[in-house]
Structures are given as C-alpha cells and as structure tokens.
Amino acid sequence: MRMFKDFTKGLWAENPTFRLLIGLCPVLGVTTSVVNGVSMGVATTFVLVCSSLIISLLKKVIPSGVRIPAYIVLISTFVTIVELVMKAFMPDIHSVLGVFIPLIAVNCIVLGRAEAYASKMPVIWSGFDALGMGLGFTWALVLLSSIRELLGEGKLLGYSVLGDGFTPWKIMGQAPGAFITLGLLLGLMNLIPIMINKFKSKSSKAE
C-alpha cells in the first residue's frame, strides 16, 4: 500500500510538472514533438530510478557533510551513461535532444527526490517514488508535446493527422508556444480539483 502511494503521488498529487512546477526547463525546451517528449521522459526516469536506488542504498555510508557532491557525482554518472548509450543507439533522437540530455544532471526533480526522499527512505520505496515521479514527468511531457506537435505541425508522432487544409501554428513549435501551452495546462490542472470539490459538496448537500 505504501509503495502504491509512493508510486501514484508522482503521477498526480505531487506531479513534478503540474503540481510542484520543478524541472520545467526541458518541459519547455524539448516538447516540440511527441517522440522528443517520450525520449526525454524515459531518459529522465532512468536517471531518477537509478540514482534514487543507489542513493538510498548508500544513505548510511555517505556522510551528510558531503552528501550533495556525492549525489551530484552519482547523478551525473547515470546521465553520462544515458548520453553515451543514446549517442550510440539512437543518434537521431540524441541530435534533437542535444544539450537537454546532459542537463538532466541539474534537473531539480532528480536532486530533489534524492535529497527529499531517497536519502531517508528504504530502497524499494525510493525506487517506486522515483518511478512515479519519472512517469509523472513523462506523461506531462507527452501531453504538452502532443498539443504542440498537433497544432504546430498538424502531426502526431510524425504522421499527418489534421490534413492539408490545416495551417500549422508555427508559434507552437517555438518557445512562446511552450509557455502558452504550459500556462493553459497548469490552469486546467488547477481547475480539475476545484470542479471535483464543487461536485462533491453539491452532492453531499443534496443528500
């Protein structure tokens, strides 16, 4: 039950993108197409899970005075592994994501989970916490990139879906499009719990 809670809180209640608003740099930067969004999400999730597991394992060994440098070394090791593997086996995606892959090392979601959770909790819980956070980050990226790819290019996953009659909104492929979409989505994400609460209080009054 605890593991399940650890896992699901990252998906919704403490979603890093829509609830905690951390790690937004890649969210704005790479979400021009769904493929980029998914790849970035998976790469970040891998780094999160590996670093959380290792940090949780070593929590008794690492003295608190050097914990931050130790975490950074561990995190950047995993990031470099991801980068090298991507370069070797997915060169096309690597060339698009470019600088955002090494920047995972300074993504505050990763260091945040290490500091706030993995350094205090048992290994298995930390793993589920990291997996939940990573997948929460991934679905946020996928949602944002689907909207941007659809409106910016009229495509989804590279396939044309809106037909030739649709004029692509070029702004969606650029930085302002990212900010506008993220802003509207954040508003929507705040609206959903409000609507649910209203609905609940109405139905309880009716009873």
Partner 1 sequence: MRETLRMIIVLTVIGMVSGLVLSLTNSWTQPIIQDNLARRLQESVLEVLPGTKSVRSVELPAQSPSSDHPSPGADQKNKERVSMIIESLDESEEPVGFAFVTEESGYGGVLKVLVGVHVPEMKISSITILEHGETPGIGSRIEGAEFRDQFIGLTTNDPITLNRDIDNLTGATVSAKAVTDAVRLGLEIAVPAYEGGR
Shortest spacing between CB 27 and partner 1, in angstroms = 19
Q: How far apart are CA 126 and CA 103, in angstroms?
A: 22
- Binding mask 106-135 toward partner 1 (x if CB under 8 A, else -) reads ------------------------------
Cβ 116 to partner 1 shortest distance, Å: 20
Closest to 104 in 3D by CA, of 134, 129, 59: 134
Answer yes or no whether residue 65 interacts with partner 1 by CB under 8 A: yes
Query: Strands, DSSP E only, in 36-86?
Result: none
- Nearer CB in complex with partner 1: 39/76: 76
C-alpha span between 173 and 144 (Å, rounded) = 11
Return the amino acid letter for 74: L
Q: Which of 109, 99, 55 has its CA nearest to residue 77?
A: 55
Nearer to partner 1, 63 or 165 (CB): 63
Name the residue with tokens 């990573």: 134
DSSP letter for each residue of 59-77: TTTS-GGGHHHHHHHHHHH
Which residues in 91-110 contact partner 1 (CB under 8 A)? 91
| Among positions 80, 112, 156, 185, the unique one binding partner 1 when judged by CB under 8 A | 80
In whole angstroms, give the CA distance from residue 53 to residue 47. Answer: 10
Site for partner 1 (CB under 8 A): which residue of 1, 61, 99, 194?
A: 61
Mark the segment that binds partner 1 (CB under 8 A) among 9-17, 40-48, 55-63, 115-123: 55-63
Give the interface with partner 1 as residue ranges (CB under 8 A): 58, 61-63, 65-66, 69-70, 73-74, 76-77, 80-81, 84-85, 87-89, 91, 168, 170, 173-174
